[in-house]
Structure formats: C-alpha cells, structure tokens
Structure 1
Amino acid sequence: MSRVVVLTGASSGIGRAAALAFAQRGDRVVLAARGLPDLSAVAEESGGLAIPADISDGASVDALAAAAVRAYGRIDVWVDTAAVMAYGKFEDLPPSVFDKVVTTDLLGAANVARAALRVFRAQGQGTLVLCSSLLAHVTVPYMSAYVTAKWGLRGLIRTLRQETRDAPGITVCTVAPGSVDTPIYQRAANYAGRAGSPPPPVAAPSKVAEAILRQVDKPRPEVSVGLANRLIEFGFVVLPPVYDALVTTMMRTFGLSRHKIEAHEGNVFHPAQDLEQASGPDLNAQNSQFGSGGAP
C-alpha cells in the first residue's frame, strides 16, 4: 500500500530528491517549502501536492499537517530537510541572522516534530525522519549558528525517541549527511568575506534520499551519509587537540571558496526566489560565480 509522505524543505536539494524517490515508488507526497515557484516545479515532477509553508512558523506547520490529513486522511511519514545556513565568525554574524538560522534549523524542526507527533499519536503510527548533519557531531569554525542548531537538534531527536517508547507504532529517526550537492552553500548568509563551498567528499542528493527511504522501510536511530564522516568524527572525539589545530585551516581551504564577496543575508529571511528578485545585480553576480553547489 502506498504511503502518505509529507516533506518539508521539498523545493530543492535533499528534499526534492526524496520527494521524487517516494513518488517513483508510488507513495503520495505532500510537498512544503517557503518558495512557491521551485515547490511547484517539484510538485509537477512528482505528481505531489504543493503547500507553501515556513517551518519557523508553528501555525504554518500546523496548517500543513491539517491540509495533508484533509487531502489523504492520514500522514504515514514526515521527512524534514528544511534548513538555512550562515557563514562567518560568530562575532561577525548579525544577531538577527544567527537567531534566524537557529530558529529555522532547530525550532523549525521542533515545530515539525510537534505537528507530526500529534497526528501520529492520533493514528497510533507514523515515522518521523529529521535531517541532521555531520555538524551535529563535530564543530567547525565560521558556521556557529548552523552547528548550534544541529547539536540542539541531535539532543531533541534523542529525547523524542525516549518519549515515544510508549508508542511502538511511532518511529523517530534521523539521517546525518556530510557535504551534499545542493544550493544551500550558495544561498547561505555570508559574513566570511569568501563564498561558501562544499568540502569534499561531496555526495549526491540522491544518496541521502536513498538513506531516507531506507530509514522509512527499516528504521535505525541514525544513518550517516558521507565517506569521510566517521573519520572526521573519530578525530573530533579521540584527537581533539589535533582536530582543533587543523580544522580552521581545513575549513578555509575546503569550506570557503576563493571568490571574495560582500556580506549579505542570503536566503535566511526570504526564499531563494525573493532573494533573486530583491537582491540587485551585485548579489546576483556573486551567486552566479559559483553555480548550484552543495550542502550538509
């Protein structure tokens, strides 16, 4: 029997790849993101139902859940991959940017979990897959807001698994990718002076989508996606002085490109389409220098 799958963050990257993968195997997909043009394109590709929603707004997420239940009678799976990112030293990030990244990536995921679990409790079953990151297990400079959010999300996920032990039909799990070829790096806010770049090795979104589908079919607490993830985690935990001595150089070499750019808010406050329409020629030129990119 086909599942009803809600995907938040479905307009690009991992969310888009997962939507297409679920649809290809016959599941019915409800797609949500802030930007309607890209979302509509994915809906056309997948045959899904597009519902614009901002996960940082709890009421918006609740309305999405209600719309999915009205349309299909239930929600079997909810996958959240929505995220924004900001580059720059902590002291250089405007507080509003730092706060919005944490609000979207951590509190937004909490909004999703709250809405999904409410539906799952009423049904007695459901699977929640939250997209975490390698950066929920290690820290790197110039990404303090994203790291803070993902470490917090890791704690939330563990707590949710403990609190749903009384409901055998409900599963909470996560996928933790390293670098993935999505636009998040280029759309990120940037106060580092140099454009973001996905550090190698970079996985295709389809690889993460495959891991998400495996989590739905045979759930595990967490699945890591990335050839170097375990090695990086080992260095962080077992050799912290060495890791800390090397990570800034590695980040500046592989995590930031050589393209110099002016400070900007990226898509932290507005969808990518709004950014392109309102940013003017300077930011658009900066974005065009480094293409479609990738993200954790």
Structure 2
Amino acid sequence: MSSSQPRPATEVVVIMGASSGIGKETALRYAHRRARLALAARSEETLRQVAAECRDAGAVDVVVQGTDIADADQVQRLFDMAIARYGRVDVVVQCAAITTFGRFEDVPVEVFDGVIRTNLLGAANVARSALNHFQQQQSGHLVLIGSLLGVTAVPYQSAYVASKFALCGLVRSLRQENRQVPGVKVHGIYPGPVDTGVYATASNFYGRTPRVPPTAVSPSTIVEAIVRATDRQTSSERQVGWMNRPAIMAYRLLPSLYDAMVGPFLRAVAFTDEPTEASNGNAFEAQPASHTAR
C-alpha cells in the first residue's frame, strides 16, 4: 500500500500456481495472516484441497478457480470473480511456472512454446489484469516470481531460461512505468533452486531423471521474501538463495570458466543416473506434484 493509505485490516490476495510448491506455501502464509484468498491453478481439484488447508490455517475466506494463465481471458475472469466477491484485490502473487529438461534441439516445438506461453505470456497476462485494477484503486502489490536463471543461463533448460530472462526484463519495465503511480508496487522475486515437485512433474527429453539439487532451499524461504516485499512501501527486486550471488558473480566476471563448469556441475547434481523415457510431463496439463524425482 502507499504510505498515504493504511493497509487493509483483511488483505485480499490472489495467488497463481497455488496448488503446490511456492504458490501453496504462499497461500498458507497469507492464511495465517487472516487474509481473504483467491487461489488459481490449472487443477481445480487440487486447489480445493489447498483451500481447505488455508481455512484451517485462519483464512477469513477462500475461493478457488481453475485458471490457465496462458489464457488472458481466463486470468481476467479470475480477477473479475475476486473483485466481485471481495470488492478489491490488494496483493497478486504470480507463482505459476513450468519447465522442460533436455537439449534445445531435442525439446519438441510445442513443449518449448508452451513453457514460453506459461512463464512469460502467462505472467504478462497476470500483470496486465493486476495493474489495471491497482491503477484504478491506486494501491496494490504485484509479485512476479522469476528465477536465478533469469540472470544466469544454464544448459538443458533453454526454454525456461529464455522465459525467465524475458520476465526479468518485464519486471524492470513495469517498475519503471509505475514509479509515479500512487500506491502501485511491483516486485520481482528471483529464487535459485527450490525444493518442490517441479523436478518430478516437468517434461523431460534429456534421458536421465531430474532430481532436487542439494543446493535447493525450502519454499518457505521464498515465501518469506514474498511477504516482506508486500509489506514494503516501495517496489523491489530480490535474489533469494544462498548460491544466487556466487553464481551471478561467476557468470558475469568469469564467463568462460562458468560456461565450462556449469554443464558438468548440473549433470552431477541435477540428474540421477537413472534413465528415463521422453515425457511431456505437465507441459499441457496439470499433474500431481510429488518429490519422486528426489
């Protein structure tokens, strides 16, 4: 909220990708703050389970709506529903994202394009609906979850890297455009590896099974950064994860060494020796999150 406007006693928070991982943990954290929640993801059945947990955790009210953020009309319908129910939206957190593993030329065109649609165009759809509403009410926090891989490139996730590099630029542009808009704040949160089920549900054309890297942090670490951002009076961007800054320094200051080492490093820590068949994973439809890839 702007410094001239008091924070609402009961916040209204819209969360994309709320069915699992960072999105689910974010929903539970705001539930503990007794917020009103509108939860979105592709799987409405899983969302209902999360909604029940949020009510038990203290949320004043929870509503869910199956939403594919790659569809701008679905995103706007979600916002229309939340505003009709609660009268306003105070915080929007965009956590929904997908990835695919494999060499660039081995990833099918439709899978590559699907990652871009969800991670970049989907985030843009969310930002558009959120900012249109925030600018009318002259208050609101938009949080876009990017990645360390939006500022450092790695092999075997080219679609994800491309989408997150673009998202990082989008965040900066939105911050610039909204500097003079009263009360409207834009935040970029950039995690390193996070211990979630994304490794198990991702599409995979690499031939080996991905796993949660030992460098991963817990989702709660990212949620702490999200909540701190929405408690700020200014827009912000933040890298989150103990390995982020060393990785960025190596990427920028020692590019040749970084490029020589990052492939062997990922092959050692990000994949098991277990072979796996090519799979579309959750590229086209939601799948239950699990940690079986660990």
TM-score, reference length from structure 1: 0.92
1:291 aligns with 2:292: yes
CA distance in 2, matches of 1:198, 1:225: 17
* CA displacement at 1:81 relative to structure 2: 0.3
How many residue pairs match? The answer is 279
* Residue in structure 2 matched with residue 10 of structure 1 by the alignment: 18
- Contact 2:209-2:293 at 8 Å conserved across structures: no
Aligned-partner SS, 2:13 = strand
* CA displacement at 1:257 relative to structure 2: 1.8
1:146 aligns with 2:160: yes
CA distance in 1, matches of 2:272, 2:229: 34
- Contact 1:140-1:247 at 8 Å conserved across structures: yes
1:25 aligns with 2:26: no
Aligned-partner SS, 1:195 = strand
- Contact 1:19-1:46 at 8 Å conserved across structures: yes
* CA displacement at 1:231 relative to structure 2: 0.3
Structure 2 gaps of 5+ residues are 1-8, 56-61
CA distance in 2, matches of 1:67, 1:292: 36
CA distance in 2, matches of 1:257, 1:37: 31
* Residue in structure 2 matched with residue 53 of structure 1 by the alignment: 67
* Residue in structure 2 matched with residue 279 of structure 1 by the alignment: none
- Contact 2:211-2:293 at 8 Å conserved across structures: no
CA distance in 1, matches of 2:140, 2:118: 23
- Contact 1:189-1:268 at 8 Å conserved across structures: yes
Aligned-partner SS, 2:164 = helix
CA distance in 2, matches of 1:226, 1:69: 34
1:142-221 alignment, distance < 5 Å: 142-218=156-232, 219-221=234-236
1:103 aligns with 2:111: no
Aligned-partner SS, 2:142 = strand
* CA displacement at 1:35 relative to structure 2: 0.6
1:122 aligns with 2:123: no
Please identify runs of 4+ aligned residues in structure 1 that moved more than 3 A: none
Q: Deviations over 1:42-87 (max 9, x none)?
A: 1011122111111000000000000000110000000000001100
Letter in 2 for 1:255: A
CA distance in 1, matches of 2:43, 2:81: 18
* Residue in structure 2 matched with residue 280 of structure 1 by the alignment: none
Letter in 2 for 1:201: T
1:272 aligns with 2:287: yes
* Residue in structure 2 matched with residue 226 of structure 1 by the alignment: 241
Letter in 2 for 1:261: T
CA distance in 1, matches of 2:235, 2:79: 24
Aligned-partner SS, 2:214 = coil
Question: For 2:272, which of 247, 257, 260 is the aligned residue?
Answer: 257
Letter in 2 for 1:248: G
Letter in 1 for 2:244: N
CA distance in 2, matches of 1:85, 1:44: 28
Between the two proteins, what is the percent identity of the paired residues? 44
Q: Deviations over 1:113-148 (max 9, x none)?
A: 001001101111110000010100101000000000
Letter in 2 for 1:246: M
CA distance in 1, matches of 2:52, 2:274: 35
CA distance in 2, matches of 1:256, 1:292: 9
CA distance in 2, matches of 1:76, 1:260: 46
* CA displacement at 1:206 relative to structure 2: 1.0
- Contact 2:185-2:235 at 8 Å conserved across structures: no
1:77-116 alignment, distance < 5 Å: 77-116=91-130
| Range 132-141 or range 217-226, more displaced | 217-226
* Residue in structure 1 matched with residue 5 of structure 2 by the alignment: none
CA distance in 2, matches of 1:222, 1:254: 28
Structure 1 gaps of 5+ residues are 277-286
CA distance in 1, matches of 2:213, 2:258: 16
